[in-house]
Structure 1
Amino acid sequence: MTCSASGGDAARAAELLQGARRVLIGAGAGLSAAAGLSYGGERFARNFAPFIEKYGMTDMYSAGFYPFPSEEARWGYWARHVWVNRHEPDALPLYRALHAFARERATRTASSWPGCSRAPRTASCPPSSCPRAPCAAARWPCTCAWTGTS
């Protein structure tokens, strides 16, 4: 399926996502751009002036490949990069929407498995207490009472 802004492709994609049993979310550099993070321009100039002056960098993306003269200089850049792109901004609306979608899907999926009462949490489910792969592979507190065979 190809998606475009016109026609019903986006609506059809949303319908398919809502009806899917499982959704795998893969994200790369394009997600930051779509969320509104700029890796160049005024934002780069404001946050990386010393690096721009010293090394002639033009944007955060290409700066990631810069042959720094030392590990200290490389990690100085990367510490700043992480701060500016991960810690400094609040969660952007696209990230919040994606998180809400994934959380809703996880809760719906957990409640759809018969005999298993689960809610998301950070501790792993021990496979011995819940032999079914959806529970054993996920991070759920398992109180499974599976009967029959898989």
Structure 2
Amino acid sequence: MFQHILIATDGSDVSDRAAKQAIDLASRLGARVLALHVVPALPAYAYFAQGIEGAIPTPDEASREDAECLERVQRLAKAHGVPCELRSVVDGRPYCEIVAIAEREGCDLIVMGSHGRQGLDRLLLGSETHKVLLSTRVPVLVCQ
């Protein structure tokens, strides 16, 4: 069935829950995972989005958080005996990088969390998960 699962993570609680589900699935199927964290290329955008959510990290905090979200996935994968590759990239449109890497690396499933934003938050922040769903032929498992 699925042999190479891309886990798109942003370090949020919903993203961590999605990673747990992806690793559980990978463990059951004997699949490997690629944990991907896409850092927005435009710091102003990142600060704006995080400002709307109520917390703007310093650059050092942001770098540490980026590394920690991938390390959490790696620890979980190791605990379940799932081979795991980590990758962090910078791109102004994270959904494009998620789709491109999934296709380039031959991933047969993308697992992502969805914050379930509504109204103004969805309009201003957008939905990377929704954009991935519309932009790829690779199946996408969306977790909340």
Asked if these proteins are the same fold (TM beyond 0.5), I'd say no
TM-score by length of structure 2 reads 0.26
Query: Which fold has the larger relative contact order, with Cα–Cα distance below 8 Å and residues 6 or more apart in sequence?
Result: 2
Larger radius of gyration: 1
